[in-house]
Amino acid sequence: MEIRERLQMFTGKDDRLGAASFFGTFGFYFITLYLAIFNADAWYILIPMMVLNGFSAVRLYVIQHDTGHASLFNTRKYNDWAGEALSIVTFAPYAAMRHNHNQHHSHLGNLEERDTGEIHTMTLKEWRNSGVWERLRYRLYRNPLVLIPAGSLFTYFIRYRWPKNANAMALGVVRHNAMILMYIAGIYALFGWTGILIWFASSFFGGMVGVFMVYLQHNFEDTYWDRKPHLDPRVAALQGSSALDLGWWMDLGSANIAYHDIHHFNARIPHYRLRKCHQAIREEYDLRVIKWPEALRSFSLKLWDEDEGRLVPFPKYSAKSTHTAPAL
């Protein structure tokens, strides 16, 4: 059986499962936030609650991502309502998020459309032809100690206030930002600056988990990039997206989005079926799975080598010289 037909068996949406995931995660988010604030003086409760709150925010973001694909509930209306409600705690304006993410799906693996991807990747040729300052900027950008915390702060707290392609959805973005201000004002009214600080720290941590996961979804050694007319969308979906087996707790906290290869091949599979689907077909179709050691090593890979067809580290020496002077 073709993999497309096999995946079709897992696309069924169940409003009960969707509602349980939606309301259950929302409830868990607010309970852990309250417990963190209420126990601000007890670090042994505060820190675990903040970590759990951050993961629940990641999970809510993935659920919102499902609504953008109309895969959480059976009807578009319910998906849109849920997506708008989730945007308050995910910081992602729903319509703009949906549009930009669908663009990402459309151009996955296309070296000529890299502006639609979440993490920018230079080619080895571009690196060799770039100047000192461009290399320095890219080195800083791809350094995980910069990329993960700065990416969290910039993406969720700054960029999403007016994301790209938002001009056509200006009213929705303005309404979204107003709702976030009301939410923050509500936290301040109830819990003061302590509540704001704990909310921000938990959200910042959740954003870092999100950036960590987003990086690993398409940045690993045997990922896939190509140029038209040779670009194959089917290969880009399965080979250019990872399947991360980081343990049951990570799957729970990230709503199974780690099984990104089959998600890109068929975005109509709800998050509550992704893990089961991948486990059912991975041996049948020889789907590659990345575990923790390879996942962490992927952060040392920086450039796409078009000749070798793989992601590689920065070169140790300048390609323009046979001397031993290291390249920036």
Q: Residue 118: its pLDDT value, please?
A: 76
152 assigned to some structural domain? yes
DSSP code, position 314: P
In a domain, 113, yes or no: yes
Number of domains composing the chain: 1
Domain assignment of residue 50, yes or no: yes
Range of the structural domain that residue 58 is part of: 3-215
Instruction: Please give the pLDDT value at position 324.
Output: 40
Please indicate, yes or no, if residue 16 is contained in any of the structural domains. Answer: yes
Q: What is the residue whose two structure tokens read 């309404």?
A: 175
Q: What pLDDT score was predicted for residue 323?
A: 41
How would DSSP label each residue in 69-130? TT-SSSSHHHHHHHHHHHHHHH---HHHHHHHHHHHHHTTTBGGGGGGSSS--EEHHHHHTS
Contact (Cβ atoms closer than 8 angstroms) between residue 184 and residue 196: yes
Domain assignment present for 12: yes
Predicted pLDDT of residue 117: 62
The pLDDT score that the predictor gives to residue 321 is 42
Query: pLDDT tens track of the chain, all 328 residues?
Result: 799 999 999 999 999 999 999 999 999 999 999 999 999 999 999 999 999 999 999 999 999 999 999 999 999 999 999 999 999 999 999 999 999 999 999 999 999 998 766 799 999 999 999 999 999 999 999 999 999 999 999 999 999 999 999 999 999 999 999 999 999 999 999 999 999 999 999 999 999 999 999 999 999 999 999 999 999 999 999 999 999 999 999 999 999 999 999 999 999 999 999 999 999 999 999 999 999 999 999 999 999 999 999 999 999 865 444 344 444 5
Residue 289 lies in a domain: no
283 belongs to a structural domain: no
In a domain, 194, yes or no: yes
